Amino acid sequence: MKNPWLMFKEYLSSRLPNFVRSLGYLRPYRGRIIVAIVCTIFIAALWGGGLAMVLPGTKVMMEDEGIHGWAYGLLVKDHIHVPLGEHDPRKAFNPDEVRRIFGQDSLEKALRVDIPGKRLEKPEKKNQDLPGLQDGDWIVKLGEQSYSESFTFKDMILAIARLRPGDQVNLTVVTAPVPGVPPSPPQEIVFEAGEEGVPSSILKAIAVEVRSNGEPLLPEPTDYSGRFPMFVTFLTVAVIITVLRSIFMFFQEYLVGQAIWLGVMDLRCQNYNVVLHLPTTFFSDKGVSDATSRFIQDTNELARGQNTLLGKTMVEPAKAIASIAVAMYYSWPLTLMAMLGGPPAYWLIRKLGKGMHRASRKALESWSLMLGMLAETLIGIRVVKAYTMEGQERKRFFHVNRQLVKQQIKKERLDATTGPVVECLGIVAAMIAAAIAGYLVFKGHPWINGGEPMDRSVFVTWMVALFAMMDPTRKLAKVSMRFNESEAAAKRVFELQDIPQEKTVPLAPTLGRHSRSIEFRQVDFRYPGAAESALRGVDLTIGAAQTVAFVGPNGSGKTTLVSLVPRLLDPQQGKVLIDGTDISQVSMRSLRRQIALVTQESILFHASIADNIAYGKPRATREEILSAAKKAYVDEFVREMPQGYDTMVGEHGSTLSGGQRQRIAIARAILRDPAILIFDEALSQIDPDSESKIHAAMEQFRQGRTCLIIAHRFHTILDADMLVVLDAGRVVDAGTHAQLQDRCPLYRTLYQRQYAAFEAEGK
């Protein structure tokens, strides 16, 4: 037979592949989960044990026989393998027959076999010809003991109950009377006391087993009021069971939660590493907020699903199984009938689950949009206020928020539908079964329960077990909803891992320090989803230690071209070579470690000024940091700060001016000591005074290094060794300023519009 766990896993994998994939991150913490499973087993056992306490409790409270009479009756049934009941022989025999058969003038109670329509063959082993017992037979004598004032009906029951397995007993019986026919003479039947079965084991558990000296462990009360101490005992046991179950529930939930969040931590760390190695085109296409949402909201939804699987999906089924076991023990046909609502409920839950999956995915996408809008608004709050766009931003946020709430409400509608519908189906089926059980209590039926009327206390216990099964079943109905929510979240989480990462060559060779040339050979590049190529057929060779400036209209491909050098982008066609080596075939780390990048938007991290300068060289000494800071004229404003280089710059460098942030970024590039410098509009936020100082520092620093510069301020690039003019993704011309002035109309136009106007203002 196939392993049930493997069957369950295969079923989940077919319906929830991404959710099952997420469970792999719990493997390192399987020890905690195993302990949690053990706790679940104890919870189920204690839950079933609590339900089992209902029957003896009702016997104490409701039945005339009490718990002791019930216990003795079960022991008797164990020993002689027939159900016996107490009956009034005066209703079956006339007074003369009672006196002749039982030896008494008046006898209110006597033992009678209660097996409607059946005959039990259980003779003594040595004599196979002895007849069995038939329904309606009266036991009139046990050995030499017959009914008398000193040996009453109760003494008869106790004597049989005290038998040990293997003891032989001689029963004198009278066959059931037939109307109009005189009773047959008594006959003796030899029975061997059987092994104690499940009922006796339950009796031992509740400490009412008859001792060898005839005294029960719980003294039998003499009257009805004397049962109260026993009732208190049962309440005490119920409290102990509840406390123990609560302790196990605490450890189960705590260990599961701990394992899940440790697994989520590992998943987030792995996805963070994946994101760091994704191509930059992913962020230009999806945006930063989408990845942020997958890290936060999506993983939280995934954790909820895992908690449901290892929490409710373990505990609630265990409780349901324990309840079903108790209910089936007392009446398996009725219990099966009560479970007829299961198949339609399963079909309905599956249909609702598909809708939940779609709604969850749309809700998570709306979360991503809302996070993106919040980031845009809060980062650009100065622009929003300056242009009095608060009202417009409020409308935008309301629209996005309304879309999110719409999906959340749809999820709530589906979730709210599941529980009541499943509960309704279960209650209807249970009520039908309960009605049939009630019929059995009052009348009995030969097809169910052996034709024997159901004991009232058994009926109450069965009903309690049945309704105890409904609560975990109702909770389990919501499990499917949680799984579908988690599957939608898991799909988005693992989409990050499934996105092709930056192309690398296994065991790629290390690229030596750049010393000869950078060559673009027939390079084409198009951004995902773009209608036109950003670069088309670019051929360009740059010598080592040259300063090359790229100019051209907006959108001409300048930034795209220089981004190919550190492989922030990879061309779809053509090659980029450094010193004759295709950079796509070398170690990415060895390539990027010899490149420094300073962009138009200076990026600073929430750390100290010193840490931001040393970002590209974490092991830099304090002296190296100070040297780079002085060359970039960072030292000028840092000396005025109380904490100096240990001053925290705030999120995105918000505590510094634009010029200060840019100088720190340039100091970071200087400290890295690169072979290739890339400046993408790096001086656009520098004031004229700082710009002249940085120019002086850069003149010395760029000696022996290849510098690639993108700038719109022509006076900053006129001394470049070569200027490359781009338009619509193509290299139009390349040469010195004087050469381009003579032969390149586009360059002349750009120069006149930007630099001539700049000079006319006297700047």
> pLDDT-derived band of residue 573, with 50, 70 and 90 as boundaries?
very high
Residue 521: its pLDDT value, please?
93
Query: Across 425-580, where does the E strand assignment appear?
Result: 517-525, 535-543, 547-551, 573-578
Whether 36 and 115 share a structural domain? no
Q: Which residue blocks in 103-212 are alpha helix, DSSP H? A: 153-161, 198-205
How large is the C-alpha radius of gyration of the chain? 44
Give the pLDDT mean for 397-410. Answer: 76
The larger pLDDT score, comparing residue 667 to residue 686, is at 667
- CATH code, domain carrying 28: 1.20.1560.10
Q: Among the ranges 391-395, 612-616, 756-760, which has the highest mean pLDDT value?
A: 612-616
> pLDDT-derived band of residue 706, with 50, 70 and 90 as boundaries?
very high
Percent share of the chain, pLDDT over 90: 9
Confirm whether 333 is domain-assigned.
yes
Give the pLDDT mean for 80-91. Answer: 76
Give the pLDDT mean for 53-74. Answer: 66
Confirm whether 684 is domain-assigned.
no
> pLDDT-derived band of residue 514, with 50, 70 and 90 as boundaries?
very high
Distance from C-alpha of 129 to C-alpha of 143, rounded to nearest angstrom:
20
Please indicate, yes or no, whether the overall pTM of this predicted structure exceeds 0.75.
no
CB atoms within 10 A of CB 461: 24
Distance from C-alpha of 564 to C-alpha of 522, rounded to nearest angstrom:
13
- CATH code, domain carrying 101: 2.30.42
Angle between helices 54-61 and 30-52 (to 10 degrees): 20
Query: Across 2-115, where does the E strand assignment appear?
Result: 84-87, 110-113
Residue 6: its pLDDT value, please?
64
Residue 474: its pLDDT value, please?
66
Structural tokens at position 481 = 């909803």
Whether 180 and 323 share a structural domain? no
> pLDDT-derived band of residue 517, with 50, 70 and 90 as boundaries?
very high
Burial 94-106 (b: 16+ CB within 10 A, else e): eeebbeebbeeee
Q: Among the ranges 7-11, 352-356, 730-734, which has the highest mean pLDDT value?
A: 730-734
| pLDDT > 90? residue 578 | yes
Distance from C-alpha of 202 to C-alpha of 200, rounded to nearest angstrom:
5
Q: Which DSSP letter does residue 710 get? A: E
**Alpha carbons within 13 A on the beta-carbon side of 242:** 7
Whether 157 and 284 share a structural domain? no
For residue 87, list its beta bridge partners.
110
Domain that holds residue 105: 85-193
Residue 306: its pLDDT value, please?
79
Structural tokens at position 137 = 């037979």
Structural tokens at position 748 = 């002349």
The larger pLDDT score, comparing residue 479 to residue 756, is at 479
Mean pLDDT (the chain) is 76
Distance from C-alpha of 381 to C-alpha of 389, rounded to nearest angstrom:
10
Question: Could you tell me whether strands 730-735 and 168-174 are parallel, antiparallel, or unpaired per DSSP bridges?
Answer: unpaired
Whether 189 and 245 share a structural domain? no
pLDDT digits (tens, 9 = 90+) for 609-645: 888 888 888 888 888 888 888 888 888 888 888 888 8
Distance from C-alpha of 467 to C-alpha of 638, rounded to nearest angstrom:
73
Confirm whether 73 is domain-assigned.
no
Confirm whether 250 is domain-assigned.
yes
Confirm whether 189 is domain-assigned.
yes
Residue 212: its pLDDT value, please?
47
| pLDDT > 60? residue 53 | yes
Residue 347: its pLDDT value, please?
67
Residue 122: its pLDDT value, please?
45
Residue 228: its pLDDT value, please?
76
> pLDDT-derived band of residue 387, with 50, 70 and 90 as boundaries?
low
Whether 403 and 336 share a structural domain? yes
Whether 343 and 296 share a structural domain? yes
Q: 332 and 366 in contact (C-beta within 8 Å)?
A: no
Q: 140 and 174 in contact (C-beta within 8 Å)?
A: yes
Q: 644 and 638 in contact (C-beta within 8 Å)?
A: yes
Residue 92: its pLDDT value, please?
79
Residue 201: its pLDDT value, please?
47
Q: 572 and 652 in contact (C-beta within 8 Å)?
A: no
Distance from C-alpha of 301 to C-alpha of 298, rounded to nearest angstrom:
5
| Lowest-pLDDT range of 196-210, 238-252, 269-283, 334-348 | 196-210
Whether 308 and 385 share a structural domain? yes
Confirm whether 261 is domain-assigned.
yes
> pLDDT-derived band of residue 197, with 50, 70 and 90 as boundaries?
low
Comparing C-alpha atoms, which of 333, 642, 341, 296 is closest to residue 469?
341
pLDDT digits (tens, 9 = 90+) for 442-475: 555 555 555 555 666 677 777 777 777 777 776 6
> pLDDT-derived band of residue 747, with 50, 70 and 90 as boundaries?
confident
Distance from C-alpha of 314 to C-alpha of 47, rounded to nearest angstrom:
14
| Lowest-pLDDT range of 132-136, 417-421, 667-671 | 417-421
Query: Across 114-249, where does the E strand assignment appear?
Result: 119-120, 133-134, 138-142, 145-146, 168-174, 187-192
The larger pLDDT score, comparing residue 603 to residue 542, is at 542
Distance from C-alpha of 114 to C-alpha of 176, rounded to nearest angstrom:
11
Confirm whether 633 is domain-assigned.
no
Give the pLDDT mean for 544-567. Answer: 90
Choose one of 193, 224, 258: the last residue of a domain.
Answer: 193
Residue 493: its pLDDT value, please?
80
Q: Which helix (H) or strand (E) holds 114?
A: none
Whether 365 and 421 share a structural domain? yes
| pLDDT > 80? residue 477 | no
Whether 109 and 170 share a structural domain? yes
Choose one of 439, 463, 498: the last residue of a domain.
Answer: 498
Comparing C-alpha atoms, which of 545, 83, 568, 44 is closest to residue 282?
568
| Lowest-pLDDT range of 444-453, 461-470, 736-745, 747-756 | 444-453
The larger pLDDT score, comparing residue 140 to residue 424, is at 140
Q: Which helix (H) or strand (E) holds 734?
A: strand 730-735
Count of domains for the chain = 2
The larger pLDDT score, comparing residue 497 to residue 192, is at 497
Structural tokens at position 325 = 């076991």
Residue in the block written with tokens 């340039």: 666
Q: Which DSSP letter does residue 282 get? A: H
The larger pLDDT score, comparing residue 544 to residue 486, is at 544
Whether 402 and 271 share a structural domain? yes
Whether 156 and 272 share a structural domain? no
Choose one of 460, 479, 498: the last residue of a domain.
Answer: 498
Q: 319 and 472 in contact (C-beta within 8 Å)?
A: yes
Comparing C-alpha atoms, which of 570, 569, 595 is closest to residue 280?
569
Residue 443: its pLDDT value, please?
59
Whether 361 and 436 share a structural domain? yes
Residue 19: its pLDDT value, please?
78
Confirm whether 592 is domain-assigned.
no
Q: What is the 3-class SS of 680-693, one letter each residue? A: ECCCCCCCHHHHHH
Distance from C-alpha of 700 to C-alpha of 545, rounded to nearest angstrom:
12
| Lowest-pLDDT range of 110-124, 200-214, 314-328 | 200-214
pLDDT digits (tens, 9 = 90+) for 234-282: 778 778 888 888 888 888 888 888 888 888 888 888 888 888 878 777 7
Q: Which helix (H) or strand (E) holds 194?
A: none
| pLDDT > 80? residue 86 | no
Q: Which residues contact 76 (CB under 8 A, 6 or more apart)?
A: 84, 157, 160, 161
| pLDDT > 50? residue 127 | no
Q: Torsions phi, psi of 334, nearest 5? A: -70, -35
| Lowest-pLDDT range of 3-12, 151-160, 309-318, 498-507 | 3-12
